[in-house]
Structure 1
Amino acid sequence: MRLDKFLTECGLGSRREVKSLIDNKKISVNGNFKISSKDNIDEKSDIIKYEDNILSYKEFRYYILNKKSGYVTAVEDPRDKTVMDLLPDWVIKKDLAPVGRLDKDTEGLLLLTNDGQLNHKLLSPKSHVDKTYIAHTEKDFSEEDLEKLRKGVDIGGYITMPAEASKIDTNILSLTIREGKFHQVKKMVEAIDNKVIYLKRVSFGKLLLEDMELGEVKEINLEDII
């Protein structure tokens, strides 16, 4: 692989920007600074450093974010801050995109990757990836209400698939769904004559939010996801 392509794939900037890094002796290959952006390197065996930090090449990258409220789930938006604004500098953002979406006012676990095939697979209706949410509701709910959610409710001409629903505390509901319809959890709660006032996703498939701080990001491996 050409050195400049390797560096751009590692997220250090455009071809022009990484050429400047090379010209300014910020990049070394096996300890050698006398290099050209056009040089070919072996990304598996050569040691490429940026300011003494060893760079590792990964074709696909996977991150989980504990999303904050107030950010839209998009790569860019002309009006609002996006989840990309929450990512720290060390995250390699090249071709990175969120898998699915969380509403602007919803917190919790969001997966981001540049693996388009995995993104498509996880969002496919055939995949039925479990997603668990904690919802604080406007008023309390009954066991009868929970049973309705478990069996499936009408959210506007569509009957939801059977879900897992349980009561955590007064006005606090745990709901696991296998679909990803627009505003689905909020609409399901509305279908039992209630309203969501706070919503957080705590799991997505095998991925668990656990004790991640709000706004925290972790890099994970493909094996953690599937």
Structure 2
Amino acid sequence: MRLDKYLVECGIGSRKEVKKIIDNKLVSVNDKIISSSKENVDEEKDIVKYRDEIIKYKKFRYYILNKKGGYITAVDDPKDKTVMDLLPEWVIKKDLAPVGRLDKDTEGLLLLTNDGQLNHRLLSPKSHVDKTYYAELEKDISEDNLEKLRNGVDIGGYITMPALAEKIDDKKIHLTIKEGKFHQVKKMLEAVDNKVIYLKRISFGKLKLDDMELGEVREVNLEDII
């Protein structure tokens, strides 16, 4: 692979920016300063450094974010702040996109990747990936209404799949669903005459929020996801 392409793929900059970096002798391969963008590198064996820091090549990258409220799940938006604004500088953003979405006011676990095939796979209706939410409610929830959530409720012409609904206390629950319909958790609670006042996703498939701080980002591996 050409050195300039390698650096672009690693998120160092655009092709034009990378050429300038190389011209300024800020890149080395196997501890040898390289001055040509056309230099070929072996992404599996060669050690590439930019400003003396090793730049590791990964075709696909996977990050989990503990999303803050007030940010929309999108790559860009002309009006609102997006989850991309929450990502620190060390995250390589080239072709990065969120997997699915969390509502603007919803917090919690969001996966971002440049692996389009995985993104499609996880969002496919056939996949039925478990998503667990912590929800605080406007009113006390009865065991009868919890049972309705477990069996499936009508959220506007669509009957939800069976869910796991666990009561934490009178106004707090854990709800695990397999679909990802628009505003699904909120609509499910409305279907049992209640309202979500706070919502946080705490797991997505094998991924768990655990002790991540609000706004924190972690890089994960493919085997952590599937």
After superposition, where does 1:155-174 map in structure 2 within 5 Å? 155-174=155-174
Provide the residue aligned with 2:12 in structure 1.
Answer: 12
Provide the residue aligned with 1:45 in structure 2.
Answer: 45
After superposition, where does 1:199-214 map in structure 2 within 5 Å? 199-214=199-214
Provide the residue aligned with 1:175 in structure 2.
Answer: 175
How many angstroms does 1:170 deviate by? 2.5
Relative distance call for 1:88 and 1:151 in structure 2 (3 A) is same
Gaps of 5+ in 2: none
Q: Return the alpha-carbon distance in structure 2 between the equivalents of residues 86 and 68 of structure 1.
A: 8
CA RMSD, 1 decimal: 0.6
How many angstroms does 1:32 deviate by? 1.4
| Cα shift readout 1:161-203 (whole Å, capped 9, x = no counterpart) | 0000011122101100000000000000000100000000000
Provide the residue aligned with 1:139 in structure 2.
Answer: 139
After superposition, where does 1:107-146 map in structure 2 within 5 Å? 107-146=107-146
How many angstroms does 1:35 deviate by? 2.7
Q: Which amino acid aligns with 2:9?
A: E
What's the TM-score once normalised by structure 2's chain length? 0.99
8 Å CA contact retained: 2:71, 2:105: yes
Q: Return the alpha-carbon distance in structure 2 between the equivalents of residues 125 and 35 of structure 1.
A: 49
8 Å CA contact retained: 1:29, 1:35: no
8 Å CA contact retained: 1:186, 1:196: yes
| Cα shift readout 1:134-185 (whole Å, capped 9, x = no counterpart) | 0100011100010000000000011000000011122101100000000000
Q: Tell me the matched-pair count.
A: 226
8 Å CA contact retained: 1:166, 1:175: yes
Q: Return the alpha-carbon distance in structure 2 between the equivalents of residues 140 and 37 of structure 1.
A: 64
Percent of aligned positions that are identical: 77
Indicate whether 1:65 and 2:65 are aligned. Answer: yes
8 Å CA contact retained: 1:65, 1:217: yes
Q: Return the alpha-carbon distance in structure 2 between the equivalents of residues 114 and 203 of structure 1.
A: 20
Relative distance call for 1:81 and 1:168 in structure 2 (3 A) is same
Provide the residue aligned with 1:28 in structure 2.
Answer: 28
Q: Return the alpha-carbon distance in structure 2 between the equivalents of residues 181 and 90 of structure 1.
A: 32
Provide the residue aligned with 2:77 in structure 1.
Answer: 77
| Cα shift readout 1:110-131 (whole Å, capped 9, x = no counterpart) | 0000000000000000000000
Gaps of 5+ in 1: none
